[in-house]
Structure 1
Amino acid sequence: MRILRALIFVLAQGLATPVYALLMILSAPFGVRGPRYFAGAWSRLMLVLARWICGIHHEISGWEHLPSGPFVLVAKHQSAWETIFFPAFLPPHVFVLKQEILSIPFFGWGMRLLEPIAIDREQRREAFQQVLSQGRERLSRGLIVIIFPEGTRVPYGYRGRYAPGGGLLAVQAGVPVVPLAHDAGRLWQKGMLGKYPGTIHLSLGPVLSTEGREGIEVNQEAEAWIEAELERWSHQPAHPWRRKHKRGSVIR
């Protein structure tokens, strides 16, 4: 039954995504607000379908920590779920993502309209400078910049290496950092069928000031808070059908 529900969700997602992508493209000549609106509408629909079809719910804490102005959001990247969640609930924002995503039919075409910071991960030095320069520009316009410091998806229960770009960008731009922890990878795993019923926990941490601080120090504080929050949830099983991952590092 779980596999059947996952297949139904994938079918529904496949039918809805081209429609919303075309709406984003058609609204683009009138400014970025149209694409952002339809991206948020698509994300909210996907979360509703995930709840109705797959039984995936979510609980959120820490909304009171969101600043009123621009900031850098440093988050875990465990699955596609969090990339769906952010457009549904956060104020206008941009992702730092790998440029290959923009070539995905419909999804990538729509994402391109949202002004992401698309980097070539093979060119690390250039990518780092791109994040800093384009990130400052986006923040100066009042946008939130979302960074996955581990650089790639890391399975639930594992810890990747945290790159310092988020903290350095925030210090250079004079904006705070907000850490975000979640356990989406526990229920929404890699592959079309890797979806399991349950509740995803998501927690926004306290605002980390960057005034008079080093970027690496801020980044380390964000990392410590995120990993401590995940450790607090570590009693949660990976899902009812599989053994929980042992917490450890990911070698990349």
Structure 2
Amino acid sequence: MVWLRSILYWLLVVIITPLFTLIAILILPLPPVTRNRIIRLWSVILLKWLHITCGLKFKVEGADHIPAGPLMIMCKHQSAWETMALQLIFPPQVWVMKRELLKMPFFGWALATTSPIAIDRGQRAQAQRQLMEQGKDRLAKGLWIVIFPEGTRIKPGERGQYKQGGARLALDLNVPIVPVAMNSGEFWPKNSFLKYPGEITVRVGAPIAVEGKKSLELIQEVEGWIEGQMTEITGRGPCFTVPK
């Protein structure tokens, strides 16, 4: 049944993604926030379809911590699921990502129309300047900034290295950080075709102020909050295995 349900989910992905790519290109003349609100319908549809076909839903704890913004989000990254769900949980946003993602057929092309901050990880100095310049621009346009501080998807129960780039950006922009923990990888594993039934837990923390802090101190505070929450919500899904 898991295979059949997952096939039904992916059928809709294949059908509507090219359509939304075309829509995203056609609405390029609109302001970024307006484009974001229209394109997010792709995520709304797919998350509802995911619930119907695969029995996978989610709950958000701490939504009252989300201020008017725009601010920066630092989120645990276990799955592709959160790239959709964050669009429903938070106001219009852009992601800091590796430039290669924009080359993906249809999905990457549509992603390029959302004004992401796509960086070349091989050019660290240039990437930091780009983060600063484009970060200021996106905030000024009313868009939140999403960063996955571990830089890649991490298996449930494991912890990646929290990088200071996002903390330096928050300090440069003088913008608070909203930390987010979630256990999505226990239901939608990394690079997995299969999606498993259950309920993903998303926890949103109170904004972390940046004033008077160093980048290392700031990222350690973010890491401490996220990983502290992960110890409480890890182990609830069918795909969790105890790390060796």
Q: Same fold (TM over 0.5)?
A: yes
Q: CA RMSD in A?
A: 1.7
Deviation of 1:192 (Å): 4.7
1:76 equivalent in alignment to 2:76: yes
CA distance in 2, matches of 1:142, 1:215: 24
2:242 aligned to 240, 245, 249, which one?
245
Partner in structure 2 of residue 181 of structure 1: 181
1:211 equivalent in alignment to 2:211: yes
Partner in structure 2 of residue 195 of structure 1: 195
Moved more, 208-217 or 198-207: 208-217
Moved more, 27-36 or 12-21: 27-36
Q: SS of 2:208's equivalent?
A: coil
Partner in structure 1 of residue 62 of structure 2: 62
1:76-120: CA deviation from partner (whole Å, max 9, x where unpaired) = 111100001122232121100111111111111111011101012
Partner in structure 2 of residue 47 of structure 1: 47
Deviation of 1:65 (Å): 0.9
1:111-139: CA deviation from partner (whole Å, max 9, x where unpaired) = 10111010122333332332233223322
Deviation of 1:34 (Å): 4.4
1:217-240: CA deviation from partner (whole Å, max 9, x where unpaired) = 121111100000000123424x1x
1:10-69: CA deviation from partner (whole Å, max 9, x where unpaired) = 111110111111111111123334431232111000100110001101010111111212
Q: SS of 2:94's equivalent?
A: strand
1:121-180: CA deviation from partner (whole Å, max 9, x where unpaired) = 233333233223322332233321100011111111110000012221111111111100
CA distance in 2, matches of 1:33, 1:130: 20
Deviation of 1:210 (Å): 1.1
Partner in structure 1 of residue 129 of structure 2: 129
Relative distance call for 1:7 and 1:123 in structure 2 (3 A) is: same
**TM-score normalised according to structure 1 size:** 0.91
Deviation of 1:190 (Å): 2.5
1:106 equivalent in alignment to 2:103: no
1:171 is matched by which residue type in structure 2?
L
Q: SS of 2:40's equivalent?
A: helix
Contact persistence 2:33–2:142 (CA under 8 A) = no
CA distance in 2, matches of 1:194, 1:121: 30
1:220 is matched by which residue type in structure 2?
Q
Unaligned runs of 5+ in 2: none
Unaligned runs of 5+ in 1: none
CA distance in 2, matches of 1:31, 1:234: 39
CA distance in 2, matches of 1:122, 1:194: 33
Contact persistence 2:157–2:240 (CA under 8 A) = no
